[in-house]
Structure 1
């Protein structure tokens, strides 16, 4: 019986650590999303591109493969020029895999004509040495 209790305690403890780590990952993604939205809504494409790793792949619904922060900056500069504003992200799910975190989110914004636009986004973040997150893969519809 004692062995069972020790095994049960160890399992509960390990589950608690996993739940805690996942909660931390979700908090980190929320913070990354909040900063990304802030930079998007400022209309600063250069600042927004700083959220992407040097080897990032960005896959917009145009079916264009955009690689690296400079190309991401150019994509968003054109989007800002078209008048898109008011971006938000709402977490659907966060999954942590070591130094990478995958997140799915609902996104919404105002189109240049004022219409509501939105969809689903998928993001793969890489944890940086300072603990921050950078996007390695970003796709949305």
Structure 2
């Protein structure tokens, strides 16, 4: 069985290819993806739809800066080519992502990609 870190490294490959289907295959059926700038998404299919939508709206690349593994947990600090920085926490169980939580600056992301800014 792959280590938690190997699963996150595979996640990076699929993310950087913009492959929502391959990403979704890495998650448990009832997984939660909570990017704290947004509401949590629950379920493998909903997570696939989220990635498919996001890949259709912006070109996103995730370059790991640091990655730490502790048992079932992987913590990754990342950057993208435009200068956005963030971190992600992945809880891996039975070879699948059970929980992903990400921290990044949504306002900076929207500005960098020329996307509409929130009105509230």
TM tier relative to shorter chain: 0.7 to 0.9
From the two aligned structures, give the one with the greater helix fraction.
1
Partner of 1:106: 77
Partner of 1:121: 88
Q: SS state of the match for residue 123, structure 1?
A: strand
Residue 87 in structure 1 maps to residue 62 in structure 2? yes
Structure 2 residues not aligned, in runs of 5+: 104-120
When normalised by structure 2's length, the TM-score is 0.74
Structure 1 residues not aligned, in runs of 5+: 1-26, 128-132
Q: SS state of the match for residue 10, structure 2?
A: helix
**Structure 1 segments of 4+ aligned residues over 4 angstroms from their partners:** none
More relative contact order in 1 or in 2 (CA 8 Å, sep 6+)? 2
Q: How many matched pairs?
A: 101
Partner of 2:44: 69
Contact kept? 2:75, 2:87, Cα under 8 Å? yes
Q: SS state of the match for residue 85, structure 1?
A: coil
When normalised by structure 1's length, the TM-score is 0.64
Residue 53 in structure 1 maps to residue 28 in structure 2? yes
| 1:101-131 CA-partner distances (Å, limit 9, x unpaired) | 0121112234xxxx2222111111002xxxx
In angstroms, what is the RMSD of aligned CA positions?
Answer: 1.8
Contact kept? 1:84, 1:109, Cα under 8 Å? no
Q: SS state of the match for residue 35, structure 1?
A: helix
Q: Cα offset for 1:68?
A: 1.0
Q: Cα offset for 1:86?
A: 2.2
Q: SS state of the match for residue 52, structure 2?
A: helix
Partner of 2:109: none
